[in-house]
Amino acid sequence: MTILVFGSTGQVARELAHFSRNICLEKSRADLTSPTACSEIICQLRPKAVINAAAYTDVDKAEKNEALALLINGDAPTAMANTCAKLGIPFVHISTDYVFDGKGKHSRMPDEPTAPLGAYGRSKLRGEKGIQQAGGIYVILRTSWVFSEQGTNFVKAILTLAETQKELRVVSDQFGGPTPAKDIAIACQKIATDLILGRGKSGTYHFSGEPDLSWAEFAREILWQTGKTVSVKSITSTEYQTLGKRPKNSRIDCTSLYDTFGIVRSDWKVGLRYVIDKLGSS
Task: Identify whether 120 is a catalytic site residue.
Answer: yes
* C-alpha angle 149-262-212 in degrees, rounded to nearest 5: 50
Measure the N-to-C terminal CA separation of the chain; round to a whole number of Å. 32
Residue 56 CA: distances (Å) to CA of 119, 135, 205, 246, 248: 11, 24, 21, 16, 21
Measuring CA to CA, which residue among 42, 96, 37, 90 is closest to residue 69? 96
Report the distance separating Cα 63 and Cα 244, nearest Å.
6
CA distances from 243 to 69, 120, 206 (A): 15, 11, 26
Catalytic residue among 120, 205, 258, 274: 120
Q: What is the DSSP letter of 239?
A: G
Q: Which residues are catalytic?
A: 120
